[in-house]
DNA sequence: TACAGTAACTTACCCAAAGTAAGTCATCGC
DNA sequence: GCGATGACTTACTTTGGGTAAGTTACTGTA
């Protein structure tokens, strides 16, 4: 008898926390890159145009604190660091997929309305 | 022979534009409120805790410019304004649903890890 | 052994975005 | 005329994001 689905009330704290976290600047792009297999710090930096190493470090730290990514230091030289998604992070593919789908469905409309 | 699905490459400009737009501060909460039927300016303001009228006005203007909401002035007195989602805006329910779903699935884990 | 190079950060500084508070405009009931 | 109301503006302060340079620890070259 419990309603486990999203309640769709006008305001939901859980949803709000989530959308403000993954909606922060650059975070969406970083998550997509991680989902498609990019894992090293420098590779992530090069993947997302306009993203600085300072911001990348800050966002990765946030995501690590939220249990969305793990950080692994490879003791090579020079030292390399790999970032990987946890189960919680991989589960965000549903969100990234939904955004991608929406963006694809409506891109034509956007492009048509601004000549 | 055309791949219409999201390509899931490491970076996608369409996805990026979309996630930076709907991920801006407050926008996710405003969209959810609109989706669940809240339509008047003051009602939106009261629905989202912490949202100021200044920010609400700014976000609604952006969403209107993107063709996601429409603005209708009701010539009553005092004047009332109703905001409604366009088809493009209503289609965001897939995104909001995905975020809500993720947030519900992982809330327990979050709560458990911070005593 | 000094030196340039590399990866992954830090620190320091600056500006644009977000937050707070107050003001505007038209209209109404009193 | 006077205060109240709804939907904003305008003005100002604070915070977060952007740019650039410095740091650490090793390594390969001269």
Domain harbouring B101, CATH code = 1.10.10.10
Residue B88 lies in a domain: yes
Q: How far is CA B52 from CA A72, A83, B25, in A?
A: 41, 37, 12
B19 touches chain A (CB under 8 A): yes
Residue A28 lies in a domain: yes
Residue B4 lies in a domain: no
Q: Choose among A72, A45, A47: nearest CA to A59.
A: A45
Residues of B within 8 A of A35 (CB-CB) are 8
Residue A2 lies in a domain: no
Taking the CA of residue A68 and the nearest CA in chain B, the distance in Å comes to 10
Any strand D atom closer than 7 Å to A52 CB? yes
Residue B7 lies in a domain: no
Q: How far is CA B88 from CA A33, B14, B80, in A?
A: 26, 15, 24
Contact A102 B95 (CB under 8 A): yes
Average pLDDT over residues B82-98: 97
Residue B8 lies in a domain: no
Contact map slice: A 53-82 vs B, CB within 8 A: 66-67
B90 touches chain A (CB under 8 A): no
For residue A108, what pLDDT band results from cuts at 50, 70 and 90? low
pLDDT in tens, B61-72: 999 999 999 999
- SS3 of chain B: helix, strand, coil, percent, to 5: 55, 10, 35
DSSP state of A41: H
Contact B28 A15 (CB under 8 A): yes
Whether the Cβ atoms of residue B84 and residue B69 lie closer than 8 Å to each other: yes
Assign B2 to helix, strand or coil: coil
Q: Which domain holds residue B51?
A: 13-113
B4 versus A98: the higher-pLDDT residue is: A98
pLDDT in tens, A32-76: 999 999 999 999 999 999 999 999 999 999 999 999 999 999 988
For residue A115, what pLDDT band results from cuts at 50, 70 and 90? very low
Residue A6 lies in a domain: no
Domain count, chain A: 1
Residue A1 lies in a domain: no
């Amino acid at each position: 008898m419990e309603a486990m689905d999203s309640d769709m009330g006008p305001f939901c704290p859980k949803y709000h926390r989530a959308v403000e976290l993954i909606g922060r600047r650059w975070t969406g792009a970083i998550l997509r890159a991680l989902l498609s297999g990019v894992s090293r710090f420098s590779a992530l930096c090069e993947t997302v145009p306009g993203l600085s190493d300072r911001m990348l470090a800050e966002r990765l730290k946030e995501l690590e604190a939220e249990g969305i990514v793990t950080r692994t230091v490879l003791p090579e030289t020079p030292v390399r660091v790999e970032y990987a998604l946890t189960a919680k992070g991989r589960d965000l593919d549903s969100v990234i997929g939904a955004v991608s789908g929406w963006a694809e469905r409506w891109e034509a409309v956007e492009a048509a309305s601004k000549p």
